[in-house]
Homo-oligomer: A and B are copies of this chain.
């Protein structure tokens, strides 16, 4: 079973397009978890247990683990081991936005896919296809390429016109038509840009889109889901991080967002 099939099956079983972003910033972790040896892991374990029934994917952002040094990295590895053991049917995405020259991308691919054991990784397209080849050639894994990111200033470069179309659209076209030899690519489009999202959906057929930016970043669920779903009402990974994990009741927050997303599929 490919990773994409694993995700699609989970979407069906859990009736959910929700991805819970494990952006476990140490400074925001609640009291009961901070005095453990691996606070990020113990917090994640709690979040996973609270939210897994409503989640089809978990997406830790590497930055919050690196910020805690080697202990943080160990916490992330423990999180992956825990997910593989208890919830092997849920997609795991490493939000790392990597992109480096080929010999170095090889090392990153080894870190993310092999040492940590993630199913998927987010990648930055600026260096071109050859730079990402060590990721792209892993047909057992999934590569999720940034097209239009969710931050307010993402248009600064991404909106620049290249042969009459914005760079984000050029990247989406490349990913769909030139970088996807192994049928293992997806794209990132921020929920904060529903118009662009709609255009990407028209452009890439039923390819899966990772949609960050719901919740704290201000993306609206109805607009984003309507603009982003494929014809079959699937093909989306809708991520929310802080608005789930740093609430008093993560389970209720995850369930409520799962249900809200389903209203508009």
Contacts and interface: CB of A to CB of B under 8 A. Distances in A.
A102 B70 contact: no
A77 interface: yes
Given A70-B70, A97-B99, A149-B131, A107 B158 contact: no
B128 A66 contact: no
A239 to B, nearest CB: 12
B153 A124 contact: no
Interface string A148-176: 01111111111011110001001100100
Given A101-B150, A160-B162, A69 B111 contact: yes
Interface residues of A, number: 60
Contact of A107 (B63, B130, B150): B63
A110 B67 contact: yes
Most chain B Cβ neighbours within 10 Å, of A74, A108, A155, A156: A156
A135 to B, nearest CB: 12
**Interface-central residue, A70, A102, A125, by most chain B CB under 10 Å:** A70
Nearest to A71: B70
Contacts of A73: 66, 69-70, 73
Contacts of A125: 126, 157
B217 A101 contact: yes
Interface in A108-147: 108, 110-112, 115-116, 124-131, 146
Contacts of A97: 98-100, 124
A99 B128 contact: no
A81 to B, nearest CB: 12
A160 B167 contact: yes
A43 to B, nearest CB: 15
A87 interface: no
Please give me the 7 A-B residue pairs with the lowest Cβ-Cβ distance, nearest first.
A130-B153, A128-B156, A63-B107, A66-B111, A128-B153, A70-B70, A70-B73
Interface of A: 23, 25, 61, 63-64, 66-71, 73-74, 77, 95, 97-105, 107-108, 110-112, 115-116, 124-131, 146, 149-158, 160-163, 167, 170-171, 174, 212, 217
22 contacts: A23-B104, A61-B107, A67-B108, A68-B115, A69-B73, A69-B77, A69-B115, A70-B71, A95-B100, A95-B104, A97-B124, A101-B212, A102-B151, A127-B151, A127-B158, A128-B151, A128-B153, A128-B158, A130-B151, A130-B152, A131-B154, A157-B167
